[in-house]
Structures are given as structure tokens and as C-alpha cells.
């Protein structure tokens, strides 16, 4: 059993395994993430990057091992507490996961509504993050009418609007040209400079080369040094 008294780590993983039926998606993963770290997770398709992020935000339980997030042990978290764990994260999903029946504005506002924030505050904050990602003009549009890069930017806006402790970005530059990719990377860096922790899962070699950050390599579910 472990405890979360390491003052510097916001995430700790101990001998984490994840299995889907007979398929072993992750095998014995061990690492810590410090507060205000900018961390990359990389590896070929199917290596388990998305699965790893999913375990962090408790999208699925681990098969074995322990995960600590900001002092919360995920194997002991109750159903009632799960939403509060999720609010520690801003998540940029590989497939964006925008709600197609809601406008750009409402998609972003949802995070703050769920937290029970006041309407005026929501209005102000949502407009300000949409301005930041350059999507202010499209706030009344629906996701289908946006390009991939624009949807990606809305996803970033939604991830940062609640001022989370950690951003999880799954392939945030996946289908973007290098110019749009740079916009996203700058946004993530901005969040990092303001004191946030960022974890990016990617196999974008270009992206990795540009940074001097720590990189965790995965291959067939294993962490390789």
C-alpha cells in the first residue's frame, strides 16, 4: 500500500496493469509526474497511450496496481467523488468528444455549469477562453460545421476553462497542419507557464523534437527506457 505524501508529485503510478479480456493493454507501468511538469507519452499506434490517460481520469478502473492523483487513491474513490476527481483534469480527447447538439459556447460552458458556477461568470469566462483559442466568432456554431482544427481548438478551450490542475491531451495535433498544430502547442505551453501540469500523448515526432521535456515511451503496453 502506498500513500500520497510526496509533496512534489501530482500523479503517481505503481505497477499499473490494464487488461481488456485477454488483451494486455498496459503492463507494469511505474512513474511519477511532478507538479507543473510538461510530460510526453509516446509510442506506436496501439501501444496503450490513450488507455494510460483513460486510467488517469478514471474512465476505467485499473486491473492491477495503484494510481494516486493529487492525493486521491483511485482504487478507493467512491462514485460520488468521481466528478470531483474529473474536475482536476482538463481533457482533450483524441476524438474531441464535443456534443453535436450543443453550440461551441454551450459545449465549453458545460464544464462550468456542472461546477455550479453563476451565469454571468460563465458568460465571461467562456467568451474569454474562446477568444484565447481564436474561436470567439464561431461561438454559436455547432461542432459539425467546424473543421478538424477548429474543433480541436474548441476542445482545448473546454479543457482549460475550468482551470484544472492537469491537462491530458490525447494526440492534440493529430490531424492538423503544422501551423494549426503550433497554435495548439502554444496554448498548452501557455497553460504550463501559468503553473499547470500537462501530459500529452502523441506519436508526432515533429512535436517531440521541438521540446526538451521528459518523454515516456510505450511499446506494446510496456514502458521502455
| Interacting residues with ligand ATP (CB under 6 A) | 20, 23, 25, 43, 45-51, 94, 203
Q: Using CB under 5 A, which of the segments 66-74, 88-96, 146-154, 157-165 binds Mg ion?
A: 88-96
Asked if residues 90 and 157 have their Cβ atoms less than 8 Å apart, the reply is: no
Q: Is residue 101 part of the contact set for other proteins (CB under 8 A)?
A: yes
Instruction: Determine the Cα–Cα distance for residues 165 and 87; give it in Å rounded to an integer.
Output: 8
Nearer to ligand ATP by Cβ, of 48 and 196: the residue is: 48
Three-class secondary structure of residue 210 per DSSP: helix
Which of residues 9, 47, 48, 50 is near Mg ion by CB under 5 A?
50
Instruction: Determine the Cα–Cα distance for residues 116 and 121; give it in Å rounded to an integer.
Output: 11
Three-class secondary structure of residue 109 per DSSP: helix
Contact string (CB under 5 A) for Mg ion, positions 115-154, x = contact = ----------------------------------------
Angle at 152 between CA 97 and CA 36, to 5 degrees: 95
- In 3D, which of 160, 167, 165, 162 has the Cα closest to residue 117? 162
Nearer to Mg ion by Cβ, of 13 and 52: the residue is: 52
- Judged by CB under 8 A, the chain residues 18 through 77 that form the site for other proteins are 57-60
DSSP 8-state symbol, 89:
E
Q: Say which residue the cell 496493469 belongs to.
A: 17
- Judged by CB under 8 A, the chain residues 109 through 148 that form the site for other proteins are 110-111, 113-116, 119
Which of residues 11, 16, 69, 91 is near other proteins by CB under 8 A?
91
Amino acid at each position: 500500500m502506498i500513500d500520497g505524501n510526496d509533496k512534489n508529485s501530482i500523479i503517481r503510478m505503481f505497477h499499473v496493469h490494464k487488461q481488456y479480456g485477454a488483451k494486455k493493454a498496459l503492463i507494469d507501468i511505474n512513474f511519477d509526474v511532478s507538479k507543473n511538469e510538461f510530460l510526453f507519452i509516446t509510442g506506436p499506434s496501439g501501444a496503450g497511450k490513450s488507455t494510460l490517460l483513460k486510467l488517469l481520469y478514471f474512465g476505467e478502473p485499473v486491473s492491477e496496481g495503484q494510481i494516486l492523483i493529487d492525493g486521491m487513491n483511485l482504487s478507493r474513490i467512491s462514485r460520488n467523488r468521481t466528478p470531483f476527481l474529473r474536475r482536476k483534469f482538463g481533457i482533450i480527447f483524441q476524438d474531441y468528444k464535443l456534443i453535436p447538439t450543443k453550440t461551441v459556447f454551450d459545449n465549453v460552458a458545460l464544464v462550468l455549469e456542472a461546477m455550479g458556477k453563476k451565469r454571468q461568470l460563465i458568460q465571461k469566462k467562456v467568451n474569454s477562453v474562446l477568444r484565447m483559442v481564436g474561436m470567439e466568432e464561431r461561438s454559436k456554431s455547432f461542432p459539425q460545421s467546424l473543421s478538424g482544427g477548429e474543433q480541436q481548438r474548441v476542445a482545448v478551450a473546454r479543457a482549460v476553462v475550468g482551470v484544472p490542475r492537469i491537462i491530458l491531451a490525447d494526440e492534440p495535433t493529430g490531424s492538423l497542419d503544422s501551423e494549426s498544430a503550433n497554435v495548439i502547442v502554444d496554448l498548452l505551453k501557455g497553460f504550463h507557464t501559468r503553473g499547470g501540469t500537462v501530459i500529452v500523448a502523441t506519436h508526432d515526432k515533429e512535436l517531440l523534437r521541438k521540446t526538451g521535456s521528459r518523454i515516456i515511451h510505450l511499446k506494446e503496453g510496456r514502458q521502455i527506457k
